[in-house]
């Protein structure tokens, strides 16, 4: 994939995400929580330093209200385990 195609894909994805987050439509809370859960899991697994994990933790705490209780607890536990692995 060329660099131009990559840039185009990023822009489209960013617009899609912005439209989703800013939409006035009623969203299914479970669907939104699941998407956040999957995104944070992916970011935690791919994090390679304590600094990255610290930034993720801060972002995670800002999104706390958007998680279902189980998802919040599971991500928090995954984050703790990954931090421990990095020490």
Q: Report the pLDDT value the prediction gives residue 8, as an integer from 0 to 100.
A: 47
Q: Report the pLDDT value the prediction gives residue 22, as an integer from 0 to 100.
A: 57
Whether 17 shows a pLDDT value over 70: the answer reads no
CB 55 within 8 A of CB 74: no
The C-alpha angle with vertex 55 and arms to 51 and 56, in degrees rounded to 5, equals: 115
For every residue of 17-86, DSSP letters joined together read HHHHHH--SPPPHHHHHHHHHHHHHHHHHH--SHHHHHHHHHHHHHTGGGS-HHHHHHHHHHHHHHHHHH
Whether 37 shows a pLDDT value over 60: the answer reads yes
Global confidence as pTM: 0.60
Question: At 3, is the pLDDT very low, low, confident or very high (cuts 50, 70, 90)?
Answer: low
Residue with the bigger pLDDT between 34 and 43: it is 43
């Amino acid at each position: 994939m060329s660099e131009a195609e990559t840039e185009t894909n990023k822009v489209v994805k960013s617009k899609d995400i912005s439209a989703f987050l800013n939409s006035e439509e009623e969203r299914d809370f479970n669907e939104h929580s699941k998407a956040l859960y999957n995104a944070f899991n992916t970011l935690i697994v791919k994090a390679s330093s304590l600094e990255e994990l610290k930034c993720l933790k801060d972002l995670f705490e800002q999104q706390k209200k958007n998680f279902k209780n189980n998802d919040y607890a599971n991500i928090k536990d995954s984050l703790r385990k990954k931090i421990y692995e990095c020490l």
